[in-house]
Amino acid sequence: MSGSLLDPDFIARLERLRLLARRRFAGTAGGARRSTRRGASVEFADHRAYAPGDDIRRIDWNAYARLEELVLRLYVAEEDLTVHLLVDRSASMGFGEPSKLEVAKRLAAALSYVSLAGSERVAVVPFGDRADRPLPPTRGKRRVGHVLRFLDGIQATGETDLAQAVDQFLARRPRPGLVVLLADLLDPGGWTRPLDRLLAEKHEPVLFHVLAAEELDPPSGGDFAFVDSERGTRVEVSLDARARRAYLARLGSFLEEVEGYARKRGISYVRVSGDDALEQALMSYLRAG
Amino acid sequence: MTFLAPWNLAWLGLLVPLGILYVLKRRRQERPVGSTLLWEQALRDLRAERPWKRLTPQVSLLLQALVIVAGSLALARPAGVGRAPRGARTVVVLDVSASMGARVDGERRLDRATAVARSIADALPPGGELMIVEASADPVVRSPFERDATALGRTLDAVQVRGARADLESAVALAADRLQGAPAGSRVVVLTDAALDGTLALDAGAVSVEVQRVGGEAANSAIVDADARARTDDPDRADLFARITHHGPSTADLYVTAHLVGQEAAIASRRVRIAPDTVESVLFTVDLPPDAAGRSPVVELSLAAADGSTDALPEDDRAVVPSPGRGKLPVFLVGTAPAAVERVVRADARVEVFRTSLARLAERDPDAPPLEGLFVYTGDVPAEAPAGDSVVIAPAGDRVFELEVGEETAAPQVLTWDEADPRLRFTSFRDVHLATLRPLVGPAARALVTTSGGSAIATIARSDGETTVLGFDPTRSDWPRQPSFVVFFRNLLERARERRAAGGVPPGTLGEPLRVPAPEGATVAVETPGGETLSAVSRGGLAVVPIPAEPGVFRARVEGGAERFALRSLLDAEESDLRPRLEVTRGGERATGALVEAEEHAESWPWVAGLLLVLLLAEVAWASRREAAA
């Protein structure tokens, strides 16, 4: 099953890519990514006054010659990055052909592969109206199969409550890192507050907005009773020009709102619709890094 | 307010399906979607765009219901007091003379007139009523005052062209009489082609009379007279006379053809060119031998255009005339006839005289065929008149059939005589002196000769013949020594001979019902020249069979009795002239503009209204089944 999420050609293309993190985070182990902490890399970061107990090997003797003060040379630490993949597995994600959840899982698989190949830690948190038991942060390229199997087991069911899911995610006090949210954001409870909370907790959210092709371009003609896959509510609609125009207007403002929000807060935003657009969207995001 | 077509209120029943269509919910196809969140917002947006949308379904239903109500009310033709006052009555006088059968531009004048009458019936004011009077030789009320347009339509459907000239004045007088005391606004509408000579005085008192003309001018050729006379040199040969006329813009090129009824082969034909408004005479000398049964043939004369075209009035292009025939007229002298009378009768070569008496006639087998001929009674008469024609001379009793015979008066002076009666043709009673007279009295009698002592010669007409009664003994007068005596009896013989040749049914005009003598309760079946069979039951010794205005021979078969026939031809120069020429006068002055062209107002709006209702129904069916997007 895991093979269906990533095919060899796609993996080959992913090999050359790394995740983009606009901010620096403190890691748990040494890695290839600059950390917020001072460490032992070769990249100079700053000076500070010597204090008893400091490693005298870091005293900048050239500075002492000029200033007659003992100062230490500080270097940037290079640590690993934890990538949290928040995958919306609510029933609404089961809509579309292929389903939005399928697209989200393939995105998550690709991101996991890139992350693990780049010595990052990857954690997967499926959520619906609450955060499910997550896949704990794992590291190493050999763990790719484990992650893919976990993703493969996610099924679309239940309602969406992004706020509660994020609250539960944050309650576990995860190490700040890249939080990749893969969701359709069609949450009656709203989606801005959870993202604000992630930002507040020093995470860097990345938003993969997954929508079905039918949601972006509904067919015209016909009289339907649309049944909400999560709440079961019925909406009777005659798909005439007026109704379609109103829907597209509402969809446009919704997308514009999400994009505007992301742009304003410096959140990477990628809209994905269908399988064909998946790879292109993913590549454009990763190459930007 | 009232409704002229209340049955159209049934359209209000459309409100029921309208309501049902709105109440019934539309069946929709269920389709699961990821989230209806955006659809809910979109529908809210639509509602927000049009804040009245929530009311729209009710407004739509209300408007559609109002359209149905308004449309139904319109179709029911609501009417209030308008130009025509409430309850105003209308009498339509329909000219049914022969010229109304003319076709102009493919439409018969009578059909046009009935269509106009229908439009008048449809446009009656509230409470208004319509009477239909048929103007023929005598006016006939075809429909009493009636407000039901359907019943009036049925009456108009039954109106037929008659051959007689229309006496419009009598018909208008009858109509005006029926409108006595009618509400204000009541009127008489005369629908005529105005193709008749003379004037029509519109002096019907307070009643308004409108004369509307139907049909335009039309070219027409016609046989206006026809006759057949035996030649003296050969009894089997006869001279056929015909007078042909033509009215039209150019000279007519016609064929006049004669053939025997029942045979297709022509016995004579001639090509005639007739200038407009002239009359041409045609004479054929033909062989007319009787058939194997000794019956005289009937000759039909027909007119046809050389180019094969037909004219406006085909009814006057054919005429049937009885041939003089070879058989002699039987004359039965009952009693001792005056010698002068017997001498005159015997002088006619085409008469066969039989002497008999009342007693011998009474001995005849009642089931034997009736004697067909002229009975001449002298003195005593039977209780009932014989079939056919008869003459009574100097009756002995106090009664002659329906006539009373008065007391004898001496030396009455002849005062007047009816010169127009065919029996008195070429006669004069100026120098006739009677020794005695028993005057003839009775409502059934018509006096032919009137003296100072009363009616000297009278006639009783019956359906199957007529009786001429002389209230005096001719031998006791100087009349036998005068030419008028001979001429009078020869006229009687000729009249009896004509009636016999005409089939035994009283003569009549084209389209006039046949009055066939028949035993009480017997069914008489009449075969028309067109092959149609009509029948009627005899009442009072007479079966009245309505016939179409068709020239030709009508054969009547009396149930269990003999066959009779009747000949019908138009032969009327005035009716064949189809040009409108009636002059309308009012107060003795020519009423210019009183004769107006008839206009038929065919209302087409009910169809439009009906179509709108149907379209509305379709729209409702579509709209109510379509869920509004908002």
Question: Is B576 a member of any domain?
Answer: no
DSSP bridge partners of B533: B527
User: Which pLDDT does position B81 carry in this prediction?
Assistant: 47
State the Cα–Cα distance between residues B416 and B485, nearest whole angstrom: 16
The reply to whether B333 and B322 lie within a common domain is no
| Per-residue confidence band for B351, with pLDDT thresholds at 50, 70 and 90 | confident
Residues B102, B188: one domain?
yes
- Search chain B and give the residue with CA nearest A246: B42
DSSP B481-531: GSHHHHHHHHHHHHHHHHHHHTTBS----TTPPEEEE--TT-EEEEE-TTS
The three-state secondary structure class of A147 is: helix
Q: Are B322 and B296 in contact (CB under 8 A)?
A: yes
Looking up tokens 């509400």, which residue turns up? B183
- The answer to whether B556 and B517 are in contact (CB under 8 A) is no
> In whole angstroms, what is the distance from residue B531 CA to residue B550 CA?
11
Any chain A CB within 8 A of the CB of B25? no
Q: Which residue has the higher pLDDT, B115 or B630?
A: B115
Residues B262 and B366 in one domain: no
Query: What DSSP element (H or E) covers B241?
Result: strand B237-247
Chain B residues touching residue A225 (CB < 8 angstroms): 28-31
Same domain as B290, residue B149: no
Q: What is the CATH number of the domain that holds B438?
A: 3.40.50.880
CATH code for position B595: 3.40.50.410
Distance from CA of A273 to the nearest CA of B (A): 14
Distances in Å between the Cα of B243 and the Cα atoms of B165, B559, B566, B572 are: 19, 38, 22, 11
Sheet holding B589-590, edge to edge: B199-201, B583-586, B589-590
Residues near B630 by beta carbon (within 8 Å), at least 6 away in sequence: A242, A243, A246, B43, B46, B47, B49, B50, B53
Shared-domain flag, residues B278 and B315: yes
- State mean pLDDT over B214-233: 85
Which residues in chain B have Cβ-Cβ distances shorter than 8 Å to A157? none
**Other C-beta atoms within 10 Å of B392: how many?**
28
Q: Which of residues 334-353 of B touch A (CB under 8 A)?
A: none
Residue at B620 is within a domain: yes
Alpha carbon distance B576, B116 (integer Å)? 23
pLDDT in tens, B546-575: 898 889 989 888 876 667 788 889 888 888
* pLDDT for residue B241: 92
DSSP-derived secondary structure letter, B307: T
Answer yes or no: do B333 and B472 share one domain.
yes
Give the distance, in angstroms, between the CA of residue A77 and the centroid of all CA atoms in the same chain.
24
Cα distance between residue B585 and residue B583, in whole Å: 6
Mark B491-521 as b/e (b = at least 16 C-beta within 10 Å): bbbbbbbebbbbbbbbebbbbbebbbbbeee
Is B415 strand, coil or helix? strand
- Quote the tokens at residue A95: 């809509």
- Whats the size of chain B, residue-wise? 630
Give yes or no for residue B338 having a pLDDT over 60: yes
CB pairs under 8 A between A and B: 104
ipTM greater than 0.85, yes or no? no
Distance between CA atoms of residues B224 and B81, nearest Å: 51
Would you list which residues of chain A are within 8 Å, Cβ to Cβ, of chain B? 91-96, 100, 184, 186, 188, 212, 214-215, 222-231, 233-238, 240, 242-243, 246-247, 249-251, 254
Q: Are A27 and A33 in contact (CB under 8 A)?
A: yes
In this complex, do A237 and B39 lie within 8 Å of one another by their Cβ atoms?
yes
Q: What is the pLDDT at residue A43?
A: 63
Q: Quote the pLDDT of residue B434.
A: 93
Q: Write out A202-249 in H/E/C secondary structure.
A: CCEEEEEEEECHHHHCCCCCCEEEEEECCCCCEEEEECCHHHHHHHHH
Quick check: B32 and A226 CB within 8 A?
yes
Helix (H, G, I), strand (E, B) or coil at B567: strand
My answer on whether B401 and B463 are in the same domain is: yes
CATH number of the domain at B270, please: 2.60.40.10
In this predicted structure, what is the pLDDT of residue B628?
42
Q: Give me the mean pLDDT over the B170-190 stretch.
A: 87
Distance CA B549, CA B313 (A): 12
CB contact under 8 A, A243 and B42: yes
Concatenated DSSP letters for B475-490?
GGBSGGGSHHHHHHHH
Q: What is the pLDDT of residue B157?
A: 92
E strands, B61-111, are 78-79, 89-95, 103-104, 107-108
**What are the φ and ψ backbone dihedral angles of A32, each rounded to 5 degrees?**
-105, 10
- Per the structure block, which two tokens stand in for B136? 């023929």
Instruction: Tell me, yes or no, whether B238 and B341 share the same domain.
Output: no
Under the banding of pLDDT at 50, 70 and 90, the label for residue B155 is very high
How far is C-alpha A144 from the chain's CA centre?
Answer: 17
Q: Which of A235, A244, A251, A256 to mutate to test the interface with B (most CBs of B within 10 A)?
A: A235
Name the residue facing A227 among B30, B40, B46 (closest C-beta). B30
Contacts of A229 in chain B (CB under 8 A): 32-35
Q: A83-87, B102-106, B383-387, B602-606 — which is least confidently predicted?
A: B602-606
Using alpha carbons only, give the angle B224, B226, B228 rounded to the nearest 5 degrees: 175
B572 found inside a domain = no
**What is the Cα–Cα distance from B197 to B200, expressed in whole angstroms?**
10
**Residue B439 has what pLDDT?**
94
- pLDDT attached to residue B589: 78
| Interface touch A215/B39, C-beta < 8 Å | no
- Residue A9 CA to residue B161 CA, distance in Å, equals 102
Full domain range(s) for residue B317: 220-326
Nearest to B428 by CA among B469, B485, B466: B485
Q: Is B36 on the interface with A (CB under 8 A)?
A: yes
Query: What is the pLDDT, as a whole number, of residue B133?
Result: 94
Q: Are B584 and B202 in contact (CB under 8 A)?
A: yes
Task: Give the per-residue pLDDT at B630.
Answer: 34
Closest chain A CA to residue B47? A246
* A192-229 tens-digit pLDDT: 999 999 989 888 889 999 999 888 888 888 888 899 98
Nearest residue to B270 via CA among B241, B309, B232: B241
In chain B, whose CA is at the least distance from the CA of A99? Answer: B34
Give the model's pLDDT for residue B245.
Answer: 94
> Chain A: nearest CA to B613, how far in angstroms?
26
β-partners of residue B210 are B189
> Is residue A141 within 8 Å of residue A42, measured between CB atoms?
no
SS3 B243: strand
CA separation for the pair B491, B418 (Å, rounded) = 14
Average pLDDT per block of 10 residues along chain A, 289 residues long: 64 66 54 55 71 83 86 68 89 89 90 83 90 87 88 90 90 84 89 91 89 87 86 85 89 93 90 76 71
Q: Do B360 and B495 sit in the same domain of this protein?
A: yes
DSSP β-bridge partners for residue A33? A79
Residue B78: exposed, middle, or buried by beta-carbon count in 10 A (0-12, 13-18, 19+)? Answer: middle
* Of B52, B75, B69, B74, the residue nearest B18 (C-alpha): B69
Mutate to test the interface with A, among B39, B40, B43, B50 (most CBs of A within 10 A): B39
pLDDT for the residue numbered A3: 47
Give the closest of B34, B45, B627 to A250, CB-based: B45
Burial of A100 (0-12, 13-18, 19+ CB in 10 A): buried
Q: DSSP assignment of B251-265, as one string?
A: -EEEEEEEEETT--S
Which residue has 């990533």 as its token pair? A6
- Structural domain includes residue B630: no
HEC sequence for A15-54: CCCCCCCCCCCCCCCEEEEEEEEEEEEEEEEEEEECCCCC
CB contact under 8 A, B42 and A249: yes
For chain B, the straight-line distance linking the first and the last C-alpha, in angstroms and rounded, comes to 43
Confidence of residue B627 (pLDDT cuts 50, 70, 90): very low
Confidence of residue B339 (pLDDT cuts 50, 70, 90): very high
Closest by CA position to A211, among listed A88, A83, A85? A88
Query: Which segment of B144-158, B195-209, B220-234 scores lowest on mean pLDDT?
Result: B195-209
Residue B462 lies in a domain: yes
Task: Give the span between the Cα atoms of B501 and B514, in whole angstroms.
Answer: 16
- Rounded to whole angstroms, how far apart are CA atoms A259 and A253? 10
Model pLDDT for residues B491-513, shown as the tens digit of each residue:
999 888 877 776 667 778 888 88
Cβ-contact B374, B388 below 8 angstroms: yes
Are B481 and B360 members of one domain? yes
Q: Are residues B249 and B368 in the same domain?
A: no
* B337 and B473 belong to one structural domain: yes
Tell me the pLDDT of chain B averaged across its residues.
84
Is there a contact between A92 and B38 if contact means CB atoms under 8 Å apart? no
Task: Tell me the DSSP string of B336-354.
Answer: ---HHHHHHHHH-TTEEEE
- Chain centroid to Cα A122, Å, comes to 11
Give the gap in angstroms from C-alpha A108 to the nearest C-alpha of chain B: 20
Q: What is the pLDDT of residue B489?
A: 94
Q: Are the C-beta atoms of residues B577 and B195 closer than 8 Å to each other? A: yes
> What pairs with residue A228 in β-bridges?
B33
Q: Which residue has the higher pLDDT, B561 or B349?
A: B349
- Answer yes or no: is B507 within a domain: no
Lowest mean pLDDT of A57-66, A267-276, B265-274, B589-598, name the range: B589-598
- Domains of chain A (ranges plus CATH)? 2-25+80-288 (3.40.50.410), 30-79 (no CATH)
> With contacts defined as CB-CB under 8 Å, which chain B residues touch A95?
32-35
Give domain status of residue B196, yes or no.
yes
pLDDT at site B1 = 58
Residue B268 pairs with which residues in a beta bridge?
Answer: B258
The per-residue pLDDT for range B58-102, each reduced to its tens digit, is 667 788 888 888 888 887 777 654 555 667 889 999 999 999 999
Are B30 and A233 an interchain contact pair (Cβ–Cβ within 8 Å)? no
Domain total for chain B? 5
* CA separation for the pair B510, A92 (Å, rounded): 94
- According to the model, what pLDDT value does residue B474 have? 93
SS (H, E, C) A57-111: HHECHHHHHHHCCCEEEEEEEEECCEEEEEEECCHHHHCCCCCHHHHHHHHHHHH
For residue B278, the model assigns a pLDDT of 93
What mean pLDDT do residues B581-604 have? Answer: 73
Contact residues on chain B for A233, CB-CB shorter than 8 A: 36, 40
B509 occurs within a structural domain = no
Q: Which residue has the higher pLDDT, B74 or B232?
A: B74
User: Could you give the C-alpha distances from A103 to A218, B255, B359, B515, in angstroms and in order?
Assistant: 19, 101, 132, 104
pLDDT for A73 equals 78
